[in-house]
Amino acid sequence: MALIEWRESYKVGIRSIDYEHGNLIWVINDLLGKLSKDHTTDDIVQALGEVHALIEAHFALEEKVMRDIRYSSYPAHKKDHDRLLDDLREIMEGVEGGGDFMKTLGETVNAWFTVHFSTFDKEFHSLAHSQR
């Protein structure tokens, strides 16, 4: 079973963005799925670091477009991006505490994607697409 399941409600209506979001979820699932039952704390932290970097890179591209088009909701959108990145860092820091990081990560990312994709991203990408 995947850590994060793609949902039709995640679609923003722009094929390239929907593809990128779906691919991001696939990469996260693939990367974390490679952790075997014999993983070390370092393996987990490294995998979570890679997930963090992938998401951060995606956000950087989105935020550049937002600044370029002078998107009025940029501050709130960026704040929501920063919140997920902060949550991921907290999960990485908590790995050494021995908790069920996969469950926490899955719940955090699924909840965030559910709200963010269907609100912030849908609004932003619709506006950005209409300005092209």
Instruction: Please give the mean pLDDT across all residues of the chain.
Output: 83
User: What secondary structure does DSSP assign to 3-70, as a single string?
Assistant: SS---GGG--S-HHHHHHHHHHHHHHHHHHHT--TT--HHHHHHHHHHHHHHHHHHHHHHHHHHHHTT
Global pTM value = 0.81
pLDDT band at 85 (very low <50, low <70, confident <90, very high): very high
Which carries the bigger pLDDT value, residue 128 or residue 63?
A: 63
**How far is the C-alpha of 45 from the C-alpha of 94, rounded, in Å?**
10
pLDDT band at 53 (very low <50, low <70, confident <90, very high): very high
Q: Taking 90 as the threshold, does the pLDDT of residue 5 lie above it?
A: no
Q: At what angle do helices 41-68 and 122-130 cross, to 10 degrees?
A: 40
Question: Could you tell me if 55 and 102 are in contact, meaning their C-beta atoms sit under 8 angstroms apart?
Answer: no
What domains are defined for the chain? Answer: 13-130 (1.20.120.50)
pLDDT band at 108 (very low <50, low <70, confident <90, very high): confident
- For residue 76, CA distances in Å to 36, 63, 107 come to 38, 11, 22
